[in-house]
Amino acid sequence: MPLHKIRHLFLDLDGTLYRGNTLLEPTRPFLDTLKRRNLGFTFLTNNATKSRRDYLAHLRKLGIDATDDQLCSSAHAALHYLRKTRPDVRRLLVLGSSSLAQELTESGYEISDTPEAVIVSWDPRVTFDEICHAAWWIARGLPYIATHPDATCPTDRPRRLMLECGSICAAIANATGRHPDKITGKPDPLMVQSVMEQQNLRPDQVLVVGDRLDTDMALARNAGAPGALVLTGCTDAAAAASAPHPPDFVFPDIGRLTRILSDDCPSPLPARAGCMYT
């Protein structure tokens, strides 16, 4: 897959452009190159704890300027899916952050204890009683959407394994026998497909860039698009080399991809499954 066909990039955030609250050094030159080449880009995240407003403020604090239409989270994908498949639903039970609840309210939904559908996400302040309440409604057959499949998330707290949305869904499944009707975050292709439809893009015209094999690269594969793995986050070179489904490209960081996409690159590199560019 020659990269000169690429018109739009889907970019993971944490582990790809920044780590925690630290912007990675190649990020600004990379984004500047995309703008100079008139290449479109969309930031993707499975983190549904922040509203769009919160995320844009976080990116600005890191030095990344982004507009509303350049950010898509698993929460936005859940909202898109709900509107498309269940336009009759107005009342929601939300197991997640107050920012997620606020965003759904601003989109016209009512947060209710007598819901017509349940959205399960994640927030460190979610209580056991709230999980039990959501499970009670799910057991009664209400539409059930999860924002993302991640079982754990990184934490700087010592001696802690931070359970995430996927682990909550596993507990609910064990209790109710039900799995989510839809999991809208990566690796589900819904987020990228909606942007591709809006901008009339083919899968071979987009590139998914991220640091995880199980979400970012699986998303690329599910969307039929090429994927570029960067080794600045959750995946090292050994894991990339031994992956059952090797990514199309492997880069030490997005700085190498910047050079390939720049005007100075005489011939774009062809993709070879699992190849490593240094």
- pLDDT number for residue 51: 87
What token pair was written down for 179? Answer: 């799995």
pLDDT digits (tens, 9 = 90+) for 149-186: 988 876 667 898 889 999 999 999 999 999 999 999 99
């979610």: which residue's tokens?
126
Average pLDDT of the chain, as a whole number: 91
% of the chain residues with pLDDT over 70: 92
What are the structural domains, with CATH classification, of the chain? 3-46+186-276 (3.40.50.1000), 87-183 (3.40.50.1000)
pLDDT band at 234 (very low <50, low <70, confident <90, very high): confident
Q: Which of 99, 131, 103, 102 is nearest to 118 (CA)?
A: 131
**Residue 278 pLDDT > 70, yes or no?**
no
pLDDT computed for residue 251 by the predictor = 95
Residue pointed to by tokens 């893009």:
201
What does the block give as tokens for 198? 């809006």
* pLDDT for res 167: 96
Q: How confident is the model at residue 231 (pLDDT cuts 50, 70, 90)?
A: very high
Residue count of the chain, please give it.
278
Mean pLDDT of 188-200: 93
First to last CA, the chain: 18
- Flag whether pLDDT at 91 surpasses 60: yes
Q: Which letter, b or e, does each residue of 208-246 get, where b requires 16 or more Cβ atoms within 10 Å of its Cβ?
A: bbbbbbebbbbbbbbbebbbbbbbbbbbeeeebeebeeb
